[in-house]
Structure 1
Amino acid sequence: MQARGRAVLATLLLVAFPLAVVAVGVVSVLAGLRIHGKTGTYVMLAGLAMMIALGFGLVSALRARRPPIEGPRLDRAAHPALWRMIDDLAAQVKTRPPDEVVLIGEINAAVTEDARFLGLRPGRRTMLIGLPLLAAMSVSELRSVLAHELGHYSGGHTRLLALTYRGTQTLAFTVDRLDGGPARALLSAYSKLYLLIARAANRRQELQADEASVLAAGSRTAAAALRKVATLGPLWNDYCERYVSLGARARRTPAVLLGFRSYLNHPVQRDWVTKYADDVLDGEELSKFDSHPPTKRRIAALAGVPDNPVKPDARPGWSLLGAPKIDVPEAELAVLIRDVGPRADWDEVVKRAGRASVAEGAKLLTAAGTESRLAPRGTVGEVVRVLRDGDADALAKPLRAPSREEGRRLLTELFADTVTAAMIDNGVAAHRLNWGGGWELCLGDGEPFDVAELVGPAVASPRAVDELVQNLQLLKVPAGYFCKQEPERESDPAEVRMLGMFTALKAKRKLYDLIVCDTEVILLPMARSVLLRRGVAGLIGARGVSDRKRIRKLRERGLHELRAEPGARRIPFTDIVAGGFPRRKLTAYLTMELSDGETLELAITGNTEDFGTAHDALKAFFKSLKA
């Protein structure tokens, strides 16, 4: 079946669904009238009940508005260059421009529409632009991407395809609003039938939207943008894990976008893209429910589109903002990172993070020295004496390594950290930024230096200690040096962020909500009347809607007021020494062991739901306690 035919059929399905809900009731009444006795009455009542449940669920979902998308708004007055480009692209593809532009913290761009009646009536449009794209893409590439997104609503192509695209978005949103009951079951099944028919039209519409990219930026730029978007995900994840995370350790807020652009331009990343881009594209799997054709197919299809050569604009995407030096840092704090300290360039961030890293190792060595009573202050001289006496294994024992070899490897690493800290504090060395491999320790002349190679032989054999002492003297590392630790930074309660929550956890026959924040959890008593309201809402598939309203009200009250709630209990992460999600027999639990010896055990009931990133955040925190 051709894409146009599938679009016609998909549109008919959208129109027919409300009629199908009414038909359930009509058919049941007719069937009940034909069946005599109580059986007919039961059939009639069951059908009418089903229709009412479906009707309430459908009306509830259809009346729901999309929640506002979080992120900085880019208004016309402050960002005229960006809006001129968007207006120009909308005119090219013969559609209306978005009503607002919002920056998000993802490798993505999209145009969403708050369409009503399963997508049959147009609504307010919002263009989403992933903040990382402003660093990764040139102005020309960004122009190509945004033209593609606006092309989904093009009036220059088949209007039915645009309606099918809008209907697909809205139907998915509608199903997501329902959380159980007959309404969700029927609408979910109906949406799968709709998607099976509509996805072919959606895939055709993707190719048509790619034609808009060629018209706006030229075929070469359009192909480059498609290829770049497909490969940016792994690079962004690697960048965040290896570099952005250094900001918290350094207690400095880095320039995320500026760093990402430098990271992408480094030969290591360029070589990776050259070598593995085809593997990434080949790894894309196609399902009959996918809305996008494979990227390789889309790039190949561009060859059949008449080219429209456009003078390339190689400026970074952020050049379209009104005041990039002000707008970018503010947007980063809004959607990418927290303010963990004063703004700093990447050289300072790496130097401070490197010092903090080796200080952690030195702290572990001091703890081992104290426990073993061989080096109670953890000074360089004490460790050297232990190594000269041949007691390396005894010093490593508190590290609890699985083997003697592993213990010595750990001891080498921690002693190297202590010596490195001494070299940094005495100005002999510093960590240097390397976009191709994290950081490296360098001496004053810029030469990389491996401290583990310096101390390793002495850990392995007392005969190498004298040579180590001579080298430490040359490097100006005093025997009495011990690594001073920076004081632990206490979180300001006003800065604590709510990440999510668990509802209806049970402990000692009482129900609780557990609010999960980034530095603490808050246990709140939960009234049983809440369960009753959730149960009623569940009958029409709106339990999730009810929960979201309740959570929104809790957020509006603020954490300070929630902590003061009668019966509320605030538990800082610093008081939790262990935790997990164990299962005993048929019941799962959320457990937390506290520093005072108390163990909290909360049963996860059939009514428990988790919202936001509550489960993932706690799971990651519990895992960090075991490290």
Structure 2
Amino acid sequence: MGVILRALRALILLCGFYLLSVVLLAALIGLDAALLTEVHGLLAVKIVAVSVLLAVPLVRGVFVLRTPRDEDPPGIEAAEEDEPRLWALVRELARTMGTRAPDRILLTADVEAAVSERPRMLGLLPGPRRLHLGVPLLAGLTEAQLRAVLVHEYGHFTGGDTRLSALVVRGRRQIGRVVEGFHARADGKVAAERARQERAAAGRIAKGRKPEAVDTRRTGALYRSMAAVFTWYGRLYLRASMSTARAQEFAADLAAARVAGREATASSLRDIPALAAAYDVYVDSYATLGLSVRLLPPHGEFFGGFSRLLAAREGDAAPSRAWLRPAPVSPYDSHPPIAERVLRIESLPADGRVAAAEGAASALLTDAARTWAALEEAVLEAEILAFEHATGWPELLNAAMAGALSSAHTPLHQVLAQYTGRPATLPALLDVIDDGRLWRLAERLPLSKEAAAAKGRAFRAFARPMLTDGLRAMVLTEFSARSLLGWEFSWSRPAAVRLPDSLAWDASGIPSEVGSEPALAAAVAAALADRPDTGPLRALLAEDLPTPA
């Protein structure tokens, strides 16, 4: 479908919204006119009042003509004098595509690239263009792949997609505004009616009479009926506009393959989902690790550490790149499934452009470290920026794990506090074990029905893993308080606890092969045996152990 036809379709869909609104307004006026010829007095006033109230959300949706402008996401402006190599690539690709280059480049913390345009006269006249470029993409893609990504985005410029989006977004927002208006008024009516009925019920109770049940099921029905009409049209509008959007994505992919090469385009489509998954791991497990103890990564590393994780886990992403999970297609999806897009690109004839521009895309930045640091200042909230910065990642890990251990709240912690009426500490648990009450305590754990119904040795086998987790947390908390443990930081695997060699025990609770004797694991196992013995654990706690190196 060409640009003119798509513009005409978008305009027809938008006009359909106005036509539906005018028809409903005319129907309300006609109904009032018909009823008022038969009805007079107070009832006539009520009919007119109801019609006016129904018309208010409709009129607001139709005559609020200004389309709200999209705000820029948090990020940093990439001025041409600061990033000449990036701008040179952006302009080169624009010339190749025969389109106007963006007027601004905004570097963001998202794993995505996007273009937008602020056209005039509902998209009939061009306007300023913006390129939003996620710095994590620069960290994880090659220059060849970045070229493919940028050409794909320019495909939306050459196809007129960014200009037509003004029409589509306008209709989507206005329909949504009308639906929200009707639902808001219906909710207000329900709340008022509920309050009235509750007051009446309270009055009946005060008089010693039985109150009536509150029932608001029919309240606001007219508003919800009007909302249902526009919800139906909104779904029709979305299905039509999103099918066009999916076709635009396919067309932009083909443009990318033609200019940047088949291999670079297909590999970028494969890599971006894997890159997004790795970024989620990084943010959840590394960047935000110390927030609970008000500690940030080293300055500039909140986002900058992502490059280190990618380098350490390069081989981990290979399986996800090689196989893309087929995804169901919804008529409301704006993008086709990645697997289908890759299949279409890889079915094109080979073009021989495999080894071109294989360098890291981050090399386009004048100073990548400076960019990461500036992004941190621009994206993080002021409250977070007020936190202290760790001097290194190991310090951040140790502080975060010490804080987590001090606030540990396993099921064992919970039932122990309830059982003893005291804080859940290791000494309190050891006292319970020595008193022969361990398995009575275990009966209070949140076990499965099968475990709770078991008896004797079978019950102990079911309960022991949960007891081990809780006891282990208490032991580590005790050693942390004595500064007898540290944590081994790694970009490629989960953190491992580091104890004195004689107490070696890894983060999963399995005795480590490093160290002369897994004494701690044996002591915990003895405390939770069928015949518990806390002696070995108490002996270890009483020792003067060296701090781990």
Give the TM-score range, shorter chain: 0.5 to 0.7
1:431 to partner: Cα distance: 0.5
Identity of aligned residues (%): 22
Aligned to 1:123, the other structure's residue is in SS state coil
Distance 1:226 1:281 in 2: 13
Distance 1:166 1:409 in 2: 59
**What residue in structure 2 maps to residue 456 of structure 1?**
524
- Contact (CA 8 Å) 1:135, 1:257: kept in 2 or not? no
Aligned to 1:246, the other structure's residue is in SS state coil
Aligned to 1:441, the other structure's residue is in SS state strand
1:328 to partner: Cα distance: 0.6
Cα root mean square deviation, aligned: 5.0
Which of residues 320, 332, 343 in structure 1 aligns to 2:364? 320
- Contact (CA 8 Å) 1:358, 1:420: kept in 2 or not? no
Aligned to 2:64, the other structure's residue is in SS state helix
- Contact (CA 8 Å) 1:214, 1:308: kept in 2 or not? no
- Contact (CA 8 Å) 1:361, 1:417: kept in 2 or not? no
1:91 paired to 2:95:
yes
Equivalences for residues 226-625 of structure 1 within 5 A: 226-249=269-292, 251-254=294-297, 255-267=301-313, 270-271=315-316, 273-276=317-320, 280-282=324-326, 284-302=327-345, 303-304=347-348, 307=351, 309=353, 312-335=356-379, 338-339=384-385, 340-361=387-408, 372=420, 386=431, 390-391=434-435, 393=437, 401-402=445-446, 405=463, 408-409=467-468, 411-421=470-480, 425-426=483-484, 429-443=485-499, 449=506, 450=511, 453-460=521-528, 463=533, 465-466=535-536, 469=539, 473=543, 475-476=545-546
Equivalences for residues 21-100 of structure 1 within 5 A: 24=23, 38=37, 56-100=60-104
Count, aligned residues: 462
1:169 to partner: Cα distance: 4.0
Based on CA coordinates, which of the two structures has the bigger radius of gyration?
A: 2
Distance 2:527 2:378 in 1: 48
Offset from partner CA, 1:220-259 (integer Å, 9 cap, x none): 1211111122334443333333223312245431223343
Q: 1:386 to 1:29 in 2, by over 3 A?
A: closer
**What residue in structure 2 maps to residue 180 of structure 1?**
181
Offset from partner CA, 1:185-236 (integer Å, 9 cap, x none): 7776555444434444332221221133234532212111111223344433
Aligned to 2:271, the other structure's residue is in SS state helix
Aligned to 2:132, the other structure's residue is in SS state strand
Aligned to 1:438, the other structure's residue is in SS state coil
Which of residues 90, 113, 117 in structure 2 aligns to 1:109? 113
Which of residues 176, 192, 201 in structure 1 aligns to 2:244? 201
Distance 2:181 2:492 in 1: 49
Q: 1:126 to 1:285 in 2, by over 3 A?
A: same
Amino acid at match of 1:349: L
Distance 1:396 1:236 in 2: 45
- Contact (CA 8 Å) 1:368, 1:395: kept in 2 or not? no
Range 186-195 or range 89-98, more displaced:
186-195
- Contact (CA 8 Å) 1:135, 1:316: kept in 2 or not? yes
Q: 1:279 to 1:312 in 2, by over 3 A?
A: closer
Distance 1:348 1:99 in 2: 43
**What residue in structure 1 maps to residue 262 of structure 2?**
219
Distance 2:25 2:533 in 1: 95
**What residue in structure 2 maps to residue 551 of structure 1?**
none
Aligned to 1:101, the other structure's residue is in SS state strand
- Contact (CA 8 Å) 1:115, 1:121: kept in 2 or not? yes
TM-score by length of 1: 0.59
Q: 1:383 to 1:333 in 2, by over 3 A?
A: same
Equivalences for residues 115-130 of structure 1 within 5 A: 115-116=119-120, 118-130=122-134
Aligned to 2:117, the other structure's residue is in SS state strand
- Structure 2 unaligned regions, length at least 5: 39-43, 183-222, 448-459, 512-517
Aligned to 2:388, the other structure's residue is in SS state coil
Amino acid at match of 2:181: G
Offset from partner CA, 1:286-333 (integer Å, 9 cap, x none): 123333222122112223277472754455444433432222123124
Offset from partner CA, 1:40-83 (integer Å, 9 cap, x none): xx999999999997565334243533344433322323222222
Distance 1:96 1:186 in 2: 41
Aligned to 2:487, the other structure's residue is in SS state strand
Q: 1:51 to 1:360 in 2, by over 3 A?
A: closer
Distance 1:14 1:415 in 2: 63
Aligned to 1:227, the other structure's residue is in SS state helix
Q: 1:201 to 1:345 in 2, by over 3 A?
A: same
- Contact (CA 8 Å) 1:134, 1:318: kept in 2 or not? yes
**What residue in structure 1 maps to residue 137 of structure 2?**
133
Q: 1:234 to 1:69 in 2, by over 3 A?
A: closer
- Contact (CA 8 Å) 1:368, 1:396: kept in 2 or not? no
Distance 2:405 2:123 in 1: 57
Q: 1:249 to 1:166 in 2, by over 3 A?
A: same
- Structure 1 unaligned regions, length at least 5: 478-627
Distance 1:390 1:22 in 2: 77
Amino acid at match of 1:359: S
**What residue in structure 2 maps to residue 488 of structure 1?**
none
- Contact (CA 8 Å) 2:527, 2:537: kept in 1 or not? no
Offset from partner CA, 1:503-547 (integer Å, 9 cap, x none): xxxxxxxxxxxxxxxxxxxxxxxxxxxxxxxxxxxxxxxxxxxxx
Amino acid at match of 2:100: R
Offset from partner CA, 1:108-133 (integer Å, 9 cap, x none): 22112334555444333332223432
- Contact (CA 8 Å) 2:21, 2:62: kept in 1 or not? no
Q: Pick the structure with more strand per residue.
A: 1
Distance 2:541 2:53 in 1: 86
Distance 2:419 2:35 in 1: 86
Distance 1:121 1:190 in 2: 28
Distance 1:219 1:141 in 2: 10
Distance 2:120 2:139 in 1: 35
